[in-house]
Amino acid sequence: MLVQTLEELRQTLSRKEQQAVFREDMLRRDIEDLQKRYQASERRCEELITQVPESTRPLLRQIEAMQETTSRRAEAWAAVERSLNSRLQEAESKAAAAEERERSVNERLSQTLSRINVLEAQISCLRAEQTQLSRSLEKERQRAAEQRQEYLAAKEEADTQEVRANQLEEEIRELRRKHKQELQDALVHRELLQQEVEREKAARADLERTVRVQSTELAPIARHNSTLENGSLSRKLSTTSSIESMEESYYLQASLDSSDGFSEKRNIGETALSPLYMKSMTPGAFESALRQKEGELASYMSRLTSLESIRDSLSEELVKMTAQCEKLKAEADTLPGIRTEL
């Protein structure tokens, strides 16, 4: 735009200069022609004055009038020449001003071109940076999408783990409730067994008193009965120890079995521990029953150990799932901040 304006100004100035030069030449030629004609007229006038008689005086006056007219025209042409000279000077001053403006415009144009080059370099750098930022943004968007997928998967996993944890908590509460109920039933059964043991001890004391009375009456019979009574006492002692073992086995059995099975086994235990049933049992049968109870006790102990290990593993799994849920919740809380940054 500036170059085009400068070119137009140059063309206009050249046209004005050409027109001024042409007019100046025309005026100079006219002036020279008029001066020549004026000089020729003066010479001719002088010649005519010297040659013509008095009758030609009007012609001379006419010639003088023509000379005055010529002089006025010469003055007019001089005024025109002065006007043209002033216009020429004005045109030259305008041309100088135009040249100065052209120089300043050229300087501004060079500055503008250099600035344009700098701006183009900056634009190139900005475009390269924009391309790099676009790639980084695309990568961040992909990462955000991947993190969103991971977040959704983690959230789903957290929900699953939370449901699993709730189920485990419910199972643990149920196991604790059952264990508490079974412990209460076992305590009741233990009280019953202790009462049965007390009754058995009382029966044993009565039997010992009867043996002492009979021993004072008949010595031989007493010795014989003493031998029998010693066997009976040893059986009673083994019965007492077996009662205690059976008490422990029933306690463990009550802590593991259900309430219905526990009631049924408690009735069987009471029948086994009744005095009539104990008196009718032989030592071999009693020992076999004792071994059976010891096997049941070992089985119940192993079951108890297994249940305790299951309980511990469930507790550990619950702790791990709770920690995992907390971790997933923390990651879910940090996700909105990541979205805001992206």
Domain residue extents for the chain: 2-106, 158-341
Most confidently modeled range among 262-266, 319-323, 338-342? 319-323
Q: Note the pLDDT of residue 267.
A: 42
Does the pLDDT of residue 151 top 80, yes or no?
no
Asked if residue 286 lies in contact with residue 239, where contact means CB atoms within 8 angstroms, the answer is yes
Give the rounded distance of the alpha carbon of 177 from its chain centre: 44
Q: Tokens 């299951």 map to which residue?
A: 310
pLDDT category, 284, cuts 50, 70, 90?
Answer: low
pLDDT category, 289, cuts 50, 70, 90?
Answer: low
pLDDT category, 258, cuts 50, 70, 90?
Answer: very low
User: Of residues 5 and 221, which shows the higher confidence score?
Assistant: 5
Structure tokens, 149: 């997928």
pTM of the model: 0.30
Q: Which residues of 266-277 are buried (b: 16+ CB within 10 A; e: fewer)?
A: beebeebbeeee
Does the pLDDT of residue 241 top 80, yes or no?
no
Q: Give the separation between CA 61 and CA 39, rounded to whole angstroms.
A: 17
Q: Give the separation between CA 88 and CA 21, rounded to whole angstroms.
A: 9
pLDDT category, 51, cuts 50, 70, 90?
Answer: low
Mean pLDDT score, 58-82: 82
User: Of residues 253 and 148, which shows the higher confidence score?
Assistant: 148
